[in-house]
Chain A
Amino acid sequence: MSAEVEAPPKDRGSGHVPGEPGLWVFLLGDMVVFGIFFGTIMVLRGTHTEEFVSSQETLHLEWGVVNTIILLTSSLFVVIGMHLAKERNPKAPRFFLAAIVCGLMFAGVKAVEYTSLVQDDHTASVNDFYTYYFMFTGIHLGHVVLGMGALLAATRIARPTSTGTHRMAALEGIASFWHLVDLLWIMLFATLYLVR
């Protein structure tokens, strides 16, 4: 995630690929892994419906909703930050910083949720639902941490003074990853908390 990304964003007529084409090898690959997660959750729901539903009821739906709103807001900040960065507006970095703050809030809420579940003896070893809940949301939380590191780099790259020939490509790459983190959470939220 450096300011000086080598490959230029390739403009092929209207078919602009955000970031650089190679980035999508990783983004689509990551979606495959999470696709397997979602499939696993749905299979578990089909085969162990009672256990699934009763365990699901112990999750804190309200915290899930809060976290969904937090991440959607963070994505909005990133979009605004991208527009300002394109115009070399000096306010651009603070929107990426706001997205990081959202990421920290998300992690904080997750920590409260995990603690509360463990205190109620709903730990990962109780049944498959909790195992997958902790595993998948934990791996997602790892993505959030990785994304916050990338956004931290973005606060520097987005400065109007920042040079580097492919400044916008680097920012687009980081923004694309953050939107993916957001999207994956929405899918996790829907399959773990909502689906009946």
Chain B
Amino acid sequence: MTTELRAPSAPVQRAMAWCGVAFCVIYGAGILIAGFIPPPSPDDNATEISQFFADNTGRIRTGTLLMMLGGATMIPFFAVLTMQMRRIQGRFDGLCLAQLLAGGIAVWVFTLPPIIFAVAAFRPGQDVNVTQALNDLGWFLFVWNLGTVTCQAIVIAVAIFSDRAEHTGDGDPVFPRWVAYLNIWVAIGFLPGALLTYFKTGIVAWDGLLAFWLAAVLFFTWILVLFWATLRAVNREARSPQAHASKTGVPA
């Protein structure tokens, strides 16, 4: 097993970490270009929704294209995050595996909604009820699909809390503990959105203050903080004496 634990080179890991920023820029730009800020209200009728897609066909097609491609940039990011998490216990443990699984599925969580929105914008002039149903589906997949990310945030928090700084070589934990607390807040902050099936207006509707606005701010803050913490961990790993040990296949 030991040779499999050899860390990838620091420059590659750094580039993978920066993919998290690339995601925020590309995906965020996609959402803005598509005109999803603010989201169409779940209270709008089928004709209004259909009109929204008919009036913004070009924007939505371009925006969703960026979102679809941007979602994939999280693949290298979650991979390097997992690589750094493995340094907490000095091996690839269950929490790393759970993080990797959640990250892999999360990429689909990011990628499916733009695909659905693109389908909704594909045939302007179609039955308004079809467009409305696709719009509903898109927003449910976008905002209600919060179980994976919530689970992922908890897994990351537990991993950081379990860090006894025994394997980093410099006596400090891999990730700062406040990042774990931020993950717990993210997990809790996403939960009110789970109630959006009951509402067409108000703070937990899919365009509401809690379900959408707070969740969106939390989400991008979460990714950027994880990026910062991961990049910092990569740089410290590169400087630590164990970096040389792990390159020769001897984990601590």
Contacts and interface: CB of A to CB of B under 8 A. Distances in A.
Interface stretch (A23-31, A88-96, A108-116): A23-31
A2 interface: yes
A90 to B, nearest CB: 28
A59 B190 CA distance: 29
Interface residues of B, number: 27
A4 B164 contact: yes
Interface residues of A, number: 22
Which one of B163, B179, B184, B209 has the greatest number of beta carbons of chain A within 10 Å? B184
Contacts of A23: 178, 181
A67 B173 CA distance: 41
A36 B209 contact: yes
A25 B185 contact: yes
Interface string A13-47: 00000001111111001101100100010000000
B185 A26 contact: yes
Contact of B181 (A26, A33, A135): A26
Q: Is the interface of A mostly helix, strand, loop or mixed?
A: helix
Nearest to A27: B181
A23 B181 CA distance: 6
Interface string B186-198: 0011011001001
Nearest to B180: A22
B202 interface: yes
A2 B204 CA distance: 34
A180 to B, nearest CB: 12
Given A25-B182, A26-B185, A20 B177 contact: yes
Interface in B111-139: none
A135 B196 CA distance: 12
B210 interface: yes
Contact of B178 (A25, A36, A131, A139): A25
A11 B27 CA distance: 42
Given A7-B177, A29-B182, A30-B188, 13 more contacts: A4-B164, A6-B173, A6-B177, A21-B178, A23-B181, A24-B181, A25-B178, A26-B181, A26-B184, A26-B185, A33-B214, A128-B202, A139-B192
Interface of B: 161, 163-165, 173, 176-182, 184-185, 188-189, 191-192, 195, 198-199, 202-204, 209-210, 214
14 contacts: A6-B163, A6-B177, A22-B179, A22-B180, A22-B181, A25-B181, A26-B181, A26-B185, A29-B182, A29-B189, A36-B209, A36-B210, A40-B209, A135-B195
